[in-house]
Structure 1
Amino acid sequence: MKKFTLLLCFLSCVLGYAQRDDIQSLVVKASKGDVISQQLLAINYERGTGVAQSYQKAVYWYEKAANQGDPRSQTRLGIFYYKGQGAEQSYKKAAEWFERAANQGFAEGQTKMGICYYKGQGVPQSDSKAVEWWQKAADQQHAEAQSLLGYAYWRGQGVTQSDNDAVMWFEKAAAQGDIDAQRDLATCYFQGKGVSQSYEKAVVWYEKAANQGDKEAQLLLGLCYQQGKGVDKSFARATFWVEKACKNFNKRACELLEKMKP
């Protein structure tokens, strides 16, 4: 046992030194302008892999790579400005970096640019421009963009309202595991909008989103069990999901949970 413990300590030290060498090697290459090294160094600082986690240093290296035209780094830099992590919060700068990436055809950058237009953050609010960018990213199979595009069709924002088109995009995104799309597709089945009404299929999709932690899907799944829609009535299962939603900071779920108590 002692030998095994010593071996683990030895391996840990070796890996530690190896990681340190890797980081030092990245710093040397990044300092010489190597874009990939700059991007990798930024990722390491962002995640705290092999170095002390630092959003400021992540921003520093992302900006180096972004200024050389790397669209992934431009998008990540935009996100840091959007959230105000490692840099002073600025929707304007976020939108500028998203646009640079978007204009290069980078799907995530296009999606984020669409969100800026949808919310009027850093750019004048425009549903039509939001949809334009989401369409570009959705055509590249970007799940978040497909989900957002589906929502735009569902609400008729920036496009002519169409339940059928909404469902088509929700299905594409849901199949890729997008939580919002799974929940919204479930609601389409529950209400019979754009698809044949089916409580059973609604439950299937609510459960997929609920299992990924979506608090609204957890509540709605609980209601399905409470009302016996798409599943056999079960007070225990209803309580289980409503309680999960409440613990997930869903206010409506907490209110319902109080009413469900004997």
Structure 2
Amino acid sequence: MSETPVLELRGLEAGYGSVPVVRPLDLVVPGGTVLAVLGPNGAGKTTLMMTLAGLLPRLRGEVLVDGKPTPSSRPAATNRAGLVLVADDRALFTTLSVRENIGIAARSGGPTLDEVLDLFPALRPRLNVAAGALSGGEQQMLAMARGLVQRPRVLLVDEMSMGLAPVIVEDLLPVVRRIADETGAVVVLVEQHVRLALEVADRAVVLVHGDVVLRGEAAELAANPTTLEAAYLGATA
């Protein structure tokens, strides 16, 4: 893990209209870091991810990637700046094959098809299968693979475990760790499986009603479940 900041949030507020859902948030995240964003339903996690991806306008504040400010409410420009979202609905082209889904997203200088398939070997025999015919776990692998070929500096993974059995989540989360380690990118992981997320994360923040009530090293938070539970209940740490 590098000490050079890749992602910086400065006083970021996110929400809908003029109503903030996430209140001023400051973060500095070095390259190669997995940052787990935790919290109960309605905490503002997905709103934060959509704002970082440029799908929602910022209410206030700045988002910087590699020290450069990124645009607000301009998803294509935000994507080109290195913020790539793997959405909770996976957003696949269901009638296109696995190969076509990956190829249509590929960017010059990004990982090759073979390199991506080394991370997700279960997709190799499925390259010519339509995305809509894949299992839920295979679809999540494809969504992650499609994100990777876009050469992210910050990979935003929103609710990777949505609709998946815990055993599949246990197989996929170590890949998140590898992505950060091997590419030097920051991975921001929104995840409901708290224990599993903390096992692969370096750092974590807990959001409750849009406020950060707890932050720290993932291993320390995992070792203090009582503090973590209190944070989920809204106790400021």
TM-score, scaled relative to structure 1 = 0.25
Higher Rg: 1
Instruction: Write 1 or 2 for the structure with the bigger share of helix.
Output: 1
TM-score under structure 2 length normalisation = 0.27
Q: Which structure's residues are more often strand, by fraction? A: 2
> Using CA pairs below 8 Å that are at least 6 residues apart, which structure has the higher relative contact order?
2
